[in-house]
Every structure is written in C-alpha cells, then in structure tokens.
Amino acid sequence: MDLLLGLPYYLVMLGILITVHEYGHYRVAVACNIRIYRFSLGFGPVLWRRPFGEPGCEFTLSAIPLGGYVLMLEKPDADTPPEDVDRALGRRPLWQRAAVILAGPLANLVLGAVFYAAAQYVGIKEVVPALSQPPAGSMLAAAGVRSGDRIVASSEDDLDTPGGVDWRPVHSFDDFFVGAIVALMDGKPLSLQIQHRGEQGTRDITLPLDTLGKTELDEEAATRIGLTRPYAPPLISDVVASGPAALAGVRAGDVVERIDDDVIADAFGLQTRIRAAAAGGKPRTMQWHVLRAGTPLTLAVTPRIVSEGGVTAAKADVVLGAYPAELVHLGPVDAVVYGAQQMGRHAVLSLRMFGRMLTGKASLKNLNGPITIADGAAKSAKLGLSHFLTYLAQVSVGIGVLNLLPIPVLDGGRLLYYLFEGATGRPVSTPWQTWLRYGGVFAILLLMSLALSNDLVRFLGR
C-alpha cells in the first residue's frame, strides 16, 4: 500500500532526473550547433507534442515512462537540407561529440550535488552518530568504545600519518556507516574521533580494517568491527496490550536497567537480551529491573517464543524508543561544499560497487530495481522534504554513474567508441558497433532482470 501511495513521488522523481539528463545532452548539442528534431520524455508512441527550440524541433511526452531521448541528426543523407549537412553529429569534431554524450551523465551528477546541498541548507533530521555497546572482542570494544559514544569525525588516514590526519566531520550515523564501507573497500584503517557520552573533549582511535581480510561489509565483518545499531536508550515507548511485557506490568516510559544480572546499556542490548531468552526453544521468565519515574521496580517477564525464517526467538511485545536525531543545518557555502563532496563520494562508491559486482567481489543482491527505488521514494517523502531531496540526490548520482559505464547502448559505451576513434584515428566499424550493441542490450536486460528479481525477493519476503 505504501508503495502505491508513493507512486506519484516516484513518477515526479523519474520526471526530474530524466528531464535533467536529457537536457544536458540537448543543451550541449545546441551549443555545438547540432541539428535536433525532438526532445522526448519517455519512449514509444507520442502522447503529446509541442514546438520546442528552433523551427522543426519538438518536445514530446511518450507512452513508456522509462527514460527519454534527444533525437539529433546523426548522419546526413540525400533528404538532409544542405544547410543541415554540417550540423550532423557525425560531422562535428570528436571533442564536441564526446561533450554532447558526456553532458547527460554530468547533468545528473551536478543535480545530485545540488540536491545534497539543498537538503543540508533546508535542514535535515539525521540519526545521531552514536554507537550501541559493541560486542566483546570486536575492534570497537578493543578500542574502548562504550554504549552512547559519539563519532565526531573520521578519516582513512592512520593516526601515525606524517603531517597529521585529514579529519572529516561526521554528521550522522549513515555518514559514519558509509565511511566504514569505503575504508573497508579500500583496505585501509579507519581513524575516528570519539566523544564519550556525558563527557567533554574527544580521543582518537584507529580501527585496523585492513587486517580483516575482507572488502565487503557482510555480517561477519560487521561483528568483528563491532558495528551494530545506532545508540538509543533502553526506553520502552509503547507496550502491546495483552503481550508478555504488558501482562508483567511493564509500562510505556519504563527504562530497563538490568535483565537478571545483565546490565542493559542501550536499546540494541535490550533487544538482543530478549531474543536470547529463546535458548532451548522454551519460554524462560526474566527479571526486568526497570526505572519508572525515578522508582526502581522488578518485574517478571516471560517472553513468547516465535519462529522467524527458521530461527527461534523470544518476543516481549514492546516498542523501543526511536534513535536520537538532530537537525543538521548548514549555511549556503558549507552546504555547497558538502553537496559536492557527497556527490563525489557517492559517485566513486557507486562506480566501485558496480565494478565489484561485475568481478564477483560483491554480491549481485546489491542491485536495486524499480520496485525498491519506488519504495525508497515513498519512504523518504514520508520523512519530509529534506529526506526526499537526499534520496533524489542518491538516485541522480546513481543514474549518472550507471550511464557512464562502458556498455554499448549507454552513454559510456559511446564515449568508449570515441576514445577508440581518438586513439586510432578511425571510428569503430559498423559491423563491430552492431555486434557490440547486441551485447550491450543483452547486458542491460540481464542487469534489469537481476535487479527486478532482487526486488521481488525483497518484497515477497516481507
């Protein structure tokens, strides 16, 4: 239902991103005096048209809203007016042809930077970059990180780097998480500035991610690093009526300090402790030591046992408090700098992820299709304008990077042809272009099928 309600946002998003991409091609083609016949949003039969630009050019809306195109004069033929012969794309200098093709993906990258900057300038509520208690034996635990510690800044430089460490402020938990993924992919240590909860000042630590022997953040790597969930206090925000906790007398507003003899440091620790009560497959009564309006109480809670995906777990039917969030608001200059940095970071990360998937170093399950993208548009829109702008930025950068991949039928494929022409002094032969086009179509159809399959597995598995 949420997906259907979010469909208008998805269509708005597609309309914006496709329009900007095609306008990039169009604007540079006009600047290079290339003859243009049509600027179309969508493929297939034309539903609506109107004159656009120079005489003989039109803007159209077409029936299949999965992309768009700019129809240019590629090569002159016998019917081409004499005044347009030299305006054919194939007659223009190589650098102009490359500029026209490159302009579409670049427009998406620039738009991504603009949306990132706009979201930060408007102000966006971000989950505070504070950590839950890391598992014993993990890198974070070994570095002395405790529940509620906040990450102030991060760097891929080692603390022993000559000339000092280039620190980058961490604005949110997602910001930190992406930084950890990048450092892991790079095979580099990750340095962090940590502020203990309730204390002033910071201290520096280094996580030796380069010693993990992994370049992908899977469950094992996350456990060894100590990445769990953002910090949230062990606060009960709601209790399901007639559930185990409600029957034991637990109320909304209670803070769980201990379960049996185990200290509960945060919401993730509480959740983990409840689930562990399913050991043996039988319900086991736990003593919850809670603080209610300053008064300590002990309540006997017997969770119910459930099976989730073949795994036995215990549930107390409580709703835990939300992750603490702060409004992050940057001034115009800082927002522009942040937007450019985030765009570059996301572009590099996306490009490397594509490369890792193609070489088998990352799972193809990372591919997202239209259903997942539409769901993300709906969820981000529900969170507010700034979150929607950030999501638009992410998708726009992703589209820009995707189109730069050297796959025939994509912009990157044509740029590869031009690179060959520049290096050899002759264009790729027509037969070769035909075969490469077939290969490109097959590759795109394969990627689309995998992405759609991933979507269906995700949503049918909910």
Please name every residue paired with 256 in a beta bridge, in sequence order, or none if there are none: 290
**pLDDT tens, residue by residue, 208-267:** 998 888 777 778 888 899 988 999 999 999 999 999 999 999 999 999 999 999 999 999
Indicate the pTM of the whole model. 0.83
**pLDDT tens, residue by residue, 12-53:** 898 999 999 999 999 999 999 999 999 999 889 999 999 998
List Cβ neighbours of 71 (8 Å cut-off, separation of 6 or more): 36, 37, 38, 39, 40
Residue 135 dihedral angles phi and psi, to the nearest 5°:
-60, 145
The answer to whether 371 and 407 are in contact (CB under 8 A) is no
Q: 126 an active-site residue?
A: no
For 82, the token pair is: 């004499």
Within its chain, how far is the Cα of 143 from the centroid? 28
Q: How many CB atoms lie within 10 A of CB 362?
A: 20
**Cα 454 to Cα 456: distance, rounded to the nearest angstrom:** 6
| Res. 160: pLDDT tops 70 | no
Q: How far is CA 203 from CA 194, 238, 426, in A?
A: 5, 36, 59
Domain with CATH 2.30.42.10 in the chain: 236-317
**Which carries the bigger pLDDT value, residue 88 or residue 166?**
88
Give, as one character, the DSSP assignment of residue 16.
Answer: H
Q: How many CB atoms lie within 10 A of CB 6?
A: 20
**pLDDT tens, residue by residue, 74-111:** 988 888 888 888 999 989 999 999 999 999 999 999 99
What is the fold, at CATH topology level, of the domain defined by 139-225?
Pdz3 Domain (2.30.42)
Catalytic residue among 22, 220, 257, 326: 22
Q: Which of 149, 153, 144 is nearest to 131 (CA)?
A: 149
**Cα 12 to Cα 148: distance, rounded to the nearest angstrom:** 39
Which residue carries 């539903």 as its tokens?
Answer: 47
- Architecture field, domain 236-317: Roll (2.30)
Per-residue pLDDT band for 187 (boundaries 50, 70, 90) equals: confident
**Cα 64 to Cα 331: distance, rounded to the nearest angstrom:** 40
